[in-house]
Amino acid sequence: MRVLVLGGTADGRELAAKLEARGIDVVTSVAGRTSRARSQPGARVGGFGGVDGLIDYLRASEMDAVVDATHPFAARMTANAAQACVATGTPLLRFTRPSWADRPDADSWTWVPDHAAAARAAAKARGRILLTVGRQPLPAYGGLPDVLARVAEWQGDPIPAGFRILESRGPFDLDDELALLRDEQITMLVSKDSGGDDNAAKLDAATSLRIPVVMIARPPLPDGIEQVTSVDKAVVWVTAVGGGRA
């Protein structure tokens, strides 16, 4: 069988490797926003050209199934995949790592629906804000006077006044995060609910140092999409769709 994995995430890479190990024909697709994504071996790189482009692609490549393993905040790709899969009758699974909303400290955070609301919440803080929301949304935080923005890859975009950029790719451990929060005298952490364990140590560190957290909730999923939060469950779903055949 042939499966399209919409990737750009570590989860997508892990899923593709596990499916290939079972002899399944996998095409991984990445948008190509980072050098790591662009250099992923064997991946197709770049957008499909909206819903219509994806419909054409799914038909031409005779995909049996699609697993949307994009980042939880890649809402446009997720919406496009949902529409294109309905239009072509292609089975679709959404696979994301588990949300941080179930952590015991999640109730102590200020949850907001989007970056604009996070920027408004951050504007009420005194002192230095650590932003861990990725590179693309940073302009929404322009105007905050004292920001350390940690990003996996900086691509030369203009840096808003009052910002310093810390280019650093996780995973980070608790000691790293405690040291960063202390050394930089951080008074608020702004993050988005990427979920999973790899990037969660900053939350443990903030809780331990009683630093307030503003957390951007995940965008809602389109209706009617089956979702799993583990690679193994995604593998089971693909295998079942293929009726057990590779």
Query: What is the C-alpha separation between 177 and 244, in angstroms, rounded?
Result: 44
Is the CB of 117 or the CB of 243 nearer to ligand NAP? 117
Work out which of 1, 3, 16, 70 binds ligand NAP, going by CB under 6 A.
70
Query: What is the C-alpha separation between 103 and 207, in angstroms, rounded?
Result: 11
Is the CB of 7 or the CB of 242 nearer to ligand NAP? 7
Query: What is the C-alpha separation between 5 and 95, in angstroms, rounded?
Result: 10
Cis peptide before 171 (omega within 30 of 0): yes
User: Min. distance of Cβ 126 from ligand NAP in angstroms?
Assistant: 28
- How many positions of this chain bind ligand NAP (CB under 6 A)? 23
Judged by DSSP in three states, 29 sits in: strand
Query: Which runs of consecutive H residues, i.e. helices, occur in the chain?
Result: 10-21, 35-38, 50-60, 75-88, 115-123, 174-183, 201-208, 231-241
Contact 100, 217 (CB under 8 A): no
Question: Tokens 């408004």 label which residue?
Answer: 120
30 binds ligand NAP (CB under 6 A): yes
User: Min. distance of Cβ 11 from ligand NAP in angstroms?
Assistant: 9
Stretch that binds ligand NAP, among 27-35, 84-92, 181-189, 206-214 (CB under 6 A): 27-35
Judged by DSSP in three states, 110 sits in: strand
User: Min. distance of Cβ 134 from ligand NAP in angstroms?
Assistant: 4
Stretch that binds ligand NAP, among 76-84, 106-114, 156-164, 225-233 (CB under 6 A): 76-84
User: Min. distance of Cβ 79 from ligand NAP in angstroms?
Assistant: 8
Where does this chain bind ligand NAP (CB under 6 A)? 6-9, 29-31, 33, 47-50, 53-54, 70-71, 73-77, 80, 134
